[in-house]
Chain A
């Protein structure tokens, strides 16, 4: 298996532009997580899907952020409009069993987002 695949690896955009981050989880995994990593705040869980359904989006910073999972093999995280404070590394992770278990998370390589 190729692991969790994220694209793009790097994204540089200007303030106000729409940004879309993509994630392909490991086949067979039924849970998907979007995290944001910054120096100041560390790893923050943004949203968690189980069986393609958003279960907990309490970590989504504000309405500018939205996430979708139209099927078991694809998810997007969209920021519209983007702001400089959104600059961070965004990770997608997947697992089998979901938040109620202790199954390990498999992380993608992340998307480094820079908003100028």
Chain B
């Protein structure tokens, strides 16, 4: 069975500070991992995904995530937060093909001036 845990339902950072959103997963097969972002009153958009290959994945808007198999983690980072990064962030895992996406409950990111 697959599952996703996002540590911290709310994260607050100052503008210009490092953003770190945590995601841990469990999967019985090599996972495919995703981060989506949801801006207020909008649908979700894909930020980045890991399927195979390089474990450090770069996404849109300066975000990146690193797949660490030994830690079963896929944390999302951005070196310097911008006000426009304030949104809800969702981690999701897929245990191979023909499997559904399993979603975390989301982390709400607030960016303070």
Contact = CB atoms under 8 A, between A and B. Distances in A.
Interface in A36-87: 42-43, 45, 48, 56
Contact of A109 (B41, B97, B105): B41
A21 interface: no
A3 to B, nearest CB: 8
Given A102-B49, A107-B44, A109-B41, A42 B98 contact: no
A4 B100 contact: no
B46 A104 contact: yes
Contact of A93 (B43, B49, B51, B105): B43
Contacts of B111: none
Contacts of A100: 97-98
B94 interface: yes
A99 interface: yes
B43 A42 contact: no
Given A102-B32, A107-B43, A42 B101 contact: no
Q: Kindly name the residue among B34, B36, B100 whose own CB sees the greatest number of chain A CB atoms within 10 A.
A: B100
Contact of B97 (A56, A91, A101, A104): A101
Interface residues of A, number: 19
Given A4-B43, A104-B49, A43 B94 contact: no
Contact of A91 (B44, B94, B105): B44
B103 A43 contact: yes
B44 to A, nearest CB: 5
A105 interface: yes
A108 interface: yes
A102 B51 contact: yes
Interface of B: 32, 34, 36, 41-46, 49, 51, 90, 94, 97-101, 103-106
Given A42-B104, A102-B51, 5 more contacts: A45-B100, A93-B44, A107-B44, A109-B41, A110-B42
12 contacts: A4-B43, A43-B90, A45-B100, A45-B101, A91-B43, A93-B44, A99-B98, A101-B97, A102-B51, A106-B43, A108-B43, A109-B41
